[in-house]
A and B are shown apart, each in its own frame.
Chain A
Amino acid sequence: MNFISKAAKKSPWIYRINAGSCNGCDVELATTACIPRYDIERLGCQYCGSPRHADIILITGPITVGVKDKLLRVYEQVPDPKVTVAVGICPISGGVFRESYAIAGPLDQFVPVDVNIAGCPPRPQAIIEGLAMAIDIWASRA
């Protein structure tokens, strides 16, 4: 492991994209990051406002037809190396919205997904575990 990837392992900046989520997963993500109990800043994580600063992309929601192009455009804006995490059952299989005419997903048809975090919505503990896996993958790429 070289010098940069050692540092990168301690500084994964995360960016979340809502691709038609019911907001349940987003609330759990916000909880994971913002309340003292699950404070993920101790892992060096930091939510960034701009996709251009991001290392790990968290995608929630079932990829609706309307949001698909925007999702791919934002995904392109994230500089390499990057890691993609699907949060919730929606981006993995469509979840409760599967087989709907309004859904373009699942996510792995469009972008390479590295980690799936199942649940509807997943618990913060599960999100943290998924993030830890994503951080390992990110460090091996950086």
Chain B
Amino acid sequence: MIGEFFRILFAVLVFPGGLFAIALGLLLKGVERRLVARLQRRIGAPLLQPFYDLVKLMGKITFVPDLADTNVFLMTPLIGVASMSLAMAMLPIAGVYAPSPMLGDLLVLFYVISLPALSLMLAGSASGSPFGAIGFSREMALMLAYEGPILLVIVSVALHVGAASGRGPMFSLAEIVQYQIRHGPLILDWRMVPAALAYAAFIPANLGMPPFDIAEAETELLEGPLLEYTGASLGLLKLASAIKTVAIAGLGVALFFPNGPGGVLGVVAFAAKCLVIVGCLSVLKAAVGRMRIDQAVVFYLRWPVLFGVLSLAMVAIHV
């Protein structure tokens, strides 16, 4: 029992949560910035830029605006970082790491992953700034739109794996990964391809990347909820978004393509898969503008829902 506790603590604080996720997340952010700059024919910031930014932010003083609710304002960045480290500890990496069953299954993970968006919304409303408030309402509208399809994706994967192994819906992520190691990745199964597409559409919205960076829109909302944050608390918010990149990409990898070698090579393979996903996101970022909030909501309620239902229906009929 005690051993289990320390194992979970290690997973949350060092590997694959905490330190490992921070290092990988910041590196991915650096790659993204560099890649976007290269695509725009600029030289771009150094790869380690996010590390420099973070260290610098830790050295600056922190203001709390007069209108803000001090406790909520200072707590929310911590919620983001903590929930994302926990989410990383719940993600299995094939051949390297299997989460403890005590941490909960895919459905718990689904809620943990939506916590940073909630913390961002709280941050926006607690900061007492009108830009923050607009960011808050946009984030909420977007979240309501993309949470539905992602739930459809999760249920269809769970149903598929459960049916194929002759049991009910299988919500344990470790079992889903095991199944794919035995029977090949789900992305190669034609019934799961629409679900994978729906998940791919969900990634940029959850990470606040173009064309769905509507809540933090730098040019119109001046980063919305982040507007009033300074120093260390801003650093923590940036850190949370870096870990979130790894967690969301990692969930996609675990759901659809976890196969890989064991040991250190497995970690490298995991990082490479995340890198591919972030590379695609960077190309998207360099290529498209920002959608309006109404367009984005309609987009999410149309295509990802359609794809999710399609996958779900195919899985259900084959049962």
Contacts and interface: CB of A to CB of B under 8 A. Distances in A.
Contacts of B56: 4, 7-8, 10-11, 55, 142
Interface stretch (A41-49, A59-67, A112-120, A126-134): A41-49
Interface stretch (B90-98, B178-186, B228-236): B228-236
A109 B44 CA distance: 37
Nearest to A7: B55
Given A39-B42, A44-B46, A4 B58 contact: yes
A80 B61 contact: yes
Contact of B228 (A11, A36, A50, A55): A50
Given A4-B59, A10-B46, A79-B60, A52 B41 contact: no
B53 to A, nearest CB: 5
A42 B30 CA distance: 12
A81 interface: yes
B52 A79 contact: no
B64 to A, nearest CB: 11
A54 to B, nearest CB: 9
Contacts of A7: 51-52, 55-56, 59
A53 interface: yes
Nearest to B58: A4
Interface stretch (B79-87, B196-204, B216-224, B278-286): B216-224
B55 A44 contact: no
Given A4-B55, A50-B228, A53-B234, A39 B49 contact: no
B52 A11 contact: yes
A3 interface: yes
Size bracket, chain B contacts: 20 to 34
Contacts of A142: 56, 59-60
Contacts of B218: 49
A8 B43 contact: no
Contacts of A13: 53
B63 interface: yes
A41 B44 contact: yes
B236 to A, nearest CB: 14
- A-B CB proximity, top 3 nearest: A49-B222, A7-B55, A4-B59
21 contacts: A4-B59, A8-B59, A10-B49, A10-B56, A11-B49, A11-B56, A36-B41, A39-B42, A39-B43, A41-B33, A41-B42, A41-B44, A41-B45, A44-B46, A44-B49, A48-B223, A49-B227, A50-B222, A52-B228, A53-B223, A80-B60
Interface of A: 3-5, 7-8, 10-11, 13, 36, 39, 41-42, 44, 46, 48-50, 52-53, 55, 77, 79-81, 142
Interface of B: 33, 37, 40-46, 49, 51-53, 55-56, 58-63, 218-219, 221-223, 226-231, 234
